[in-house]
Amino acid sequence: MRRFLLAGLVGLMALVGSGVPAGAQEPVLLHAAGSLKAALTEVAQAFEAQTGIAVKPAFGASGLLRERIAKGEAAEVFASADLGNPQALAQAGLAGPVVLFARNELCAFARPGVAVTPETLLERMLDPAVKLGTSTPKADPSGDYAFAVFARAEAVKPGAKAALEAKALQLTGGPGSVPAPAGVNVYGHKLGNGEADLFLAYCTNAQPLATEQPGVTLVRLPAALAVGADYGLTVLGNASPNAYRLAMFMLSQAGQEILAKHGFSAPLLPREGKN
């Protein structure tokens, strides 16, 4: 994976210096996963403060964003919650190299009154009385990661995969999903209004939920069920030089530190104690 990251980074650096035609100082068009909204909003602000270049973001489910870009929506930088969606654009000739720029993990979030621990999580997810929420697979990588948890559960308890897939409520991330009110964490909203008792979502939701829904409990997945999320970054074809500058800023120490501040694992940060 380290080799893959470095190869993509070298590719981006080559494109920055490849004589891409200079354009007008229009805002850089950033399409990014909804889970990156807080982090990349801060990254965009820091980038603008440093360069004077504005960023115009569009946040949403990565699979749906990829579909919009593939259909011709104007875009320059795509930051996805997985590697598959940006790689699909690259393979279609619509984007350049894909770089692993952040990592996340899946956690379970329980509404107040739902008793659950890492040791009892699978039992509670399988409980017919417990409403289990996920995002929508294919449209939103968070849903794909949740279904990967179900596949891992099969090795722990035969029959669990089919049972969990059948009962999972795909409440977010799909084209027909009902959004949360503006400024409200969608997973906390679904738990708060009773649509779900447990929700499998990115661990980085812990920060906003601690503020908005202090009664919601975060439960780490046990090792047998744990699933990580690799986030991919690419620059679209015909992007402006400023788009490459934004991508490189996201990969810089300053950009990586902001991602880490928001709970992401930042693979390009220097390792502690290493010179």
Output the pLDDT for position 183.
87
Report the distance separating Cα 206 and Cα 238, nearest Å. Answer: 37
Q: What angle do CA 67, 262, 8 make, to 5 degrees?
A: 50
3-state secondary structure of 153: helix
Binned at pLDDT 50, 70 and 90, residue 271 comes out as confident
Which among 189, 215, 218 has a CA at the least distance from the CA of 109?
218
Q: Is the pLDDT of residue 119 over 70?
A: yes
Whether this prediction's pTM lies above 0.75 is answered by yes
User: Which one-letter amino acid corresponds to residue 228?
Assistant: G
Element (H, E) at 200: strand 198-202
Which residue carries 């990586």 as its tokens? 256
Comma-separated ranges of CATH 3.40.190.10 domains in the chain: 2-103+230-261, 104-220
Helix (H), strand (E) at residue 7? helix 2-16
CB 227 within 8 A of CB 103: no
Q: Which two tokens stand for residue 220?
A: 């780490």
18 contacts: CB under 8 Å, gap ≥ 6: none
What SS3 class is residue 176? coil
Rounded to whole angstroms, the Cα distance separating 187 from 209 reads 8
Domain 2-103+230-261 has CATH 3.30.565.10: no
Per-residue pLDDT for 236 more than 70? yes
C-alpha–C-alpha distance, residues 116 and 100, integer Å: 33
CATH code at 104-220: 3.40.190.10
Task: Let me know: does 80 contact 247? Beta carbons within 8 Å.
Answer: no
**CA–CA dist 43, 71 (Å, integer):** 27
What is the reported pLDDT for 273?
52
C-beta neighbour count of 68 within 10 angstroms: 15
Biggest CA pair distance of the chain: 60
Q: With a cut of 80, say whether residue 12 has pLDDT above it.
A: no
Lookup result for tokens 């409440």: 171
The strand pairing partners of 79, in sequence order, are 32, 233
Other C-beta atoms lying within 10 Å of the C-beta of residue 72: 8
Q: For 87-103, how does the pLDDT look when each residue is reduced to its tens digit (9 = 90+)? A: 999 999 999 999 999 99
4-13, 39-48, 101-110, 168-177: lowest mean pLDDT where?
4-13
58 Cβ contact list (under 8 Å, min separation 6): 29, 30, 31, 32, 65, 75
What's the confidence (pLDDT) of residue 163? 98
Q: Could you tell me the pLDDT band of residue 23, with boundaries at 50, 70 and 90?
A: very low
Spatial CA neighbour of 103 closest among 29, 203, 10: 203
